[in-house]
Amino acid sequence: MKRINVTRSSMPSLEEYEEEIRPIFESHQLTNMGPVYKKFQKQLIEYLQVPELSLFVNGHMALEMAIDALGLKQEQGEVITTPFTFVSTTHAISRNRLKPVFCDIRPDDYTIDPAKIEPLITEHTVAIIPVHVYGNVCDVEAIQKIAEQHGIKVIYDAAHAFGVTYKGKGIGNFGDASMFSFHATKVFNTIEGGAIAFHDKAYGMPLHELKNFGIHDEENIPAIGANAKMNEFAAAMGICNLRRMDECLRRRKAAHDRYFERLSGVKGIKLCEPQKEVVPNYAYMPVCFDETEFGATRDEVFRKLAAHDIYARKYFYPAVNELNCYKCYSDQKTPIAHRISTHVLTLPIFEELSTDEVDRICDIILH
Ligand SMILES: *Cc1c(COP(=O)(O)O)cnc(C)c1O
């Protein structure tokens, strides 16, 4: 039996990629927002149905720079965010010298609980950074209302939500900005890459400058930027993978539906139910195990699968506010995030995972 990891990168054929990078070998323009970058950017704007989009070297730098471009770097500034995420979300806040304020999550879809946001708002709050975790859509309406009432910004970490739509709109249309990640392990990849989607054209220039050392023109460098540009080879990979998205989603859905057939209704197992008015992307397959009802702990299931060369992941364990680098915030209690992080396992799901393999994984879990 072959080893199965939690994910496997989707890739085009070598010939198809070769075709796409041929012009780069002819022009010798390898980076700095060249023609392939621009072509890919245009295609993505269409695919994601967003008005504006800036491409980055990865999702993390995109989020770090969005926080800066939106003018949120303020003395003593605080950002309300979720502890149930990849540590990148919190790092992007902290590396901008802002204080993360952890808000607990909802027990059903694991996104930030809007009912718990308001009590955390202080005179120092500058923004909310929620996460569409596993591609589950946050309560964008409630979050928007709170943000407007308090005059604060919202930046979504949409790293998991590529291609998701809510009420017929691309997920990148909510809040002031949304970050997408195109890392090799995500639903859609450019090897490494990321983007910020936004609607206020005013953010376009600062984002563009920040990712290119703050350079406005040769003699004029108004901002202290860094280097976070997407290169032409990554953009070419994006063009190839975007072409394959429908096929990729169709196959992910088949694996996802098979998991649901096998696991839903099993005592002690909780799956994320489909959300209303959401077109999902089947990015992850999170399963919560209740040891008293299921008869095994999350860690026992994890080890049992590993013994069969199947590698599920404990996304996201520990919760971010329980990591050593954020222990200083351990007084901020988020019991639901703690409970989910200690009980959840994300099972393998990727384009090439067959329904037979899903059956094998489910057989091991259930027997
Ligand atoms: C992957 C990920 C990121 C970081 O994206 P990179 O492209 O890997 O830098 C940020 N937030 C979440 C929730 C992620 O899963």
pLDDT per residue over 159-181, tens digit each? Answer: 999 999 999 999 999 999 999 99
Answer yes or no: are the C-beta atoms of 156 and 139 closer than 8 Å. no
Cβ(262) – ligand 1 distance below 6 Å: no
Percent of the chain with pLDDT over 90: 98
| 1 has pLDDT over 90 | no
The pLDDT of residue 330 is 83
Tokens of 230: 């997407």
Atom of ligand 1 nearest to the CA of 62: 9
Nearest CA-CA partner of 283 in 187, 184, 355: 187
Distance 27 CA to ligand 1 centre (A): 32
For residue 90 and ligand 1, the question of a CB distance below 6 A is answered with: no
pLDDT digits (tens, 9 = 90+) for 348-364: 999 999 999 999 999 99
Q: Which of 95, 88, 103 is nearest to 73 (CA)?
A: 95
Please give the pLDDT value at position 205. Answer: 97
Architecture of domain 14-243: 3-Layer(aba) Sandwich (3.40)
- Beta strands 194-198 and 4-5 are unpaired
Q: How sure is the predictor about 233, in pLDDT bands with cuts at 50, 70 and 90? A: very high
Average pLDDT taken over every residue of the chain: 97
Tell me: the pLDDT tens digits for 295-327? 999 999 999 999 999 999 999 999 999 999 999
**Coil/strand/helix, residue 226:** coil
pLDDT at 99 > cutoff 80: yes
Ligand 1 nearest-atom number relative to CA 183: 7
Q: Decide: 157 in ligand 1 pocket, CB within 6 A.
A: yes
If we measure between CA atoms, which residue out of 261, 264, 279, 284 comes closest to residue 353? 284
pLDDT tens for residues 45-84?
999 999 999 999 999 999 999 999 999 999 999 999 999 9
Q: How far is the CA of 85 from the centre of ligand 1 (A)?
A: 9
Ligand 1 geometric centre to CA of 188 (Å)? 12
Ligand 1 centroid–CA 250 distance in Å is 23
How many separate helices (H) and strands (E) can be counted in the chain? 12, 15
Order of strands across the sheet that contains 278-279: 169-170, 165-166, 278-279
In the predicted model, what is the mean pLDDT of residues 264-286? Answer: 98
- Using pLDDT thresholds of 50, 70 and 90, give the confidence band for residue 2: confident
- With the most atoms of ligand 1 within 8 angstroms of its CB, the residue from 6, 9, 86 to mutate is 86
Q: Where are the domains of the chain?
A: 14-243, 245-366
- Cβ-in-10-Å burial (0-12, 13-18, 19+) of 314 comes to middle
Check if 59 has its Cβ closer than 6 Å to any atom of ligand 1: yes
The H-or-E segment that residue 39 falls in is helix 35-48
pLDDT band at residue 217 using 50, 70 and 90 as cut-offs: very high
Contacts 24+ apart (CB under 8 A), 142-148: 142/114, 142/115, 143/112, 143/114, 143/117, 143/175, 144/174, 144/175, 146/114, 146/117, 146/118, 146/121, 147/175
Pair 146, 114: CB distance under 8 Å = yes
Q: Give yes or no for residue 111 CB within 6 A of ligand 1.
A: no
Confidence (pLDDT) at 200: 98
Task: Tell the CATH superfamily of the 245-366 domain.
Answer: Aspartate Aminotransferase, domain 1 (3.90.1150.10)
Chain segment 115-162, per-residue pLDDT in tens: 999 999 999 999 999 999 999 999 999 999 999 999 999 999 999 999
